[in-house]
Amino acid sequence: MSHCDTLARVIERIEQARLRFDAHHIVKIVAVSKYNASEDISMLYSCGQRAFGESRVQDLIQKQEELAHYPLEWHFIGRLQKNKINHLLSLRPALIHSVDSLELAKEIDKRIDTSKSYRPKVLLQVNSALEASKTGVHPDAAFETYAQIESSCPNLILSGIMSIGAHSDDTKVIEKSFLQAKHVFDSLPESAKILSLGMSNDFELAIQCGSNLIRLGSILFK
């Protein structure tokens, strides 16, 4: 199947899931290109895809350079090491999904050069699956951490939360982690517009639980 057929089929599935949640619900696709070369990204671009996600700063640098001639929107979704913050900020990503602590938020905030008028949009990562292997704040602490970031990091545009569904074959367990994330999301102030939830194996369930941004890798780049 061509890249465009694959994308079209995924969009049809998104459409069905979206309607099960709400007829007016809009879902954004971020194509996670972390295992793919720039040529694959160009192909998806030619099918209409504009937003791409990378999980390593080094890869983002390379792909932004190679694809500089396209109007792409870059998302950062990986663990962010402190020594990479300046580099990431210089790349001006559209959204940083993986701010997983107040401490990291403060580190990013203080490195922002206020003379350059770029304030990054960021999401607080929540460990809604309560898995030790996953990073992110505990759901019970999410409300408070969100409020603390908002009040102590004036250079960040805090825009919602990101979470990764439970690693399980049991749909009920995955659903529970998504509903947990949705519950946190609903408790947040008005500034929380983005609920980044759902990947290749669980995006329909995530949308049915209210996700409005899905991060799709393997399913789009087969």
Give least dist CB 55 to ligand PLP, A.
Answer: 5
The smaller minimum CB distance to ligand PLP, of residues 164 and 194, is found at 164
Alpha carbons 37 and 87: distance in angstroms, whole number: 21
Tell me if 163 sits within 8 A of 181, measured CB to CB: yes
Give least dist CB 71 to ligand PLP, A.
Answer: 23
Phi-psi region of 53 (alpha: psi -120 to 50; beta: other; left: phi over 0): beta
Tell me if 21 sits within 8 A of 182, measured CB to CB: no
Alpha carbons 28 and 211: distance in angstroms, whole number: 9
Interactions with ligand PLP, residue window 77-106 (CB under 6 A):
77
Interactions with ligand PLP, residue window 22-51 (CB under 6 A):
32, 34
Q: What is the dihedral of CA 35, 62, 110, 113, to 10 degrees?
A: -150
The smaller minimum CB distance to ligand PLP, of residues 184 and 219, is found at 219
Give least dist CB 216 to ligand PLP, A.
Answer: 5
Task: Confirm or reject binding of residue 200 to ligand PLP (CB under 6 A).
Answer: yes
| Residue number closest to ligand PLP, CB atom | 217
Residue 159 belongs to what H/E stretch? strand 157-163
Give least dist CB 190 to ligand PLP, A.
Answer: 25
Give least dist CB 151 to ligand PLP, A.
Answer: 27
Give least dist CB 156 to ligand PLP, A.
Answer: 19
In this chain, which stretch among 16-24, 153-161, 172-180, 193-201 interacts with ligand PLP, using CB under 6 A?
Answer: 193-201
- What is the three-class DSSP state of 175? helix
Among 20, 39, 55, 167, contact with ligand PLP (rule: CB under 6 A): 55
- What is the three-class DSSP state of 30? strand
Minimal CA–CA distance to 99: which of 43, 42, 157, 172? 157
The smaller minimum CB distance to ligand PLP, of residues 145 and 196, is found at 196
Task: Confirm or reject binding of residue 216 to ligand PLP (CB under 6 A).
Answer: yes
- What is the three-class DSSP state of 50? coil
Overall residue count recorded for the chain in this entry: 222
Residues that bind ligand PLP (CB under 6 A): 32, 34, 55, 77, 164, 199-201, 215-219
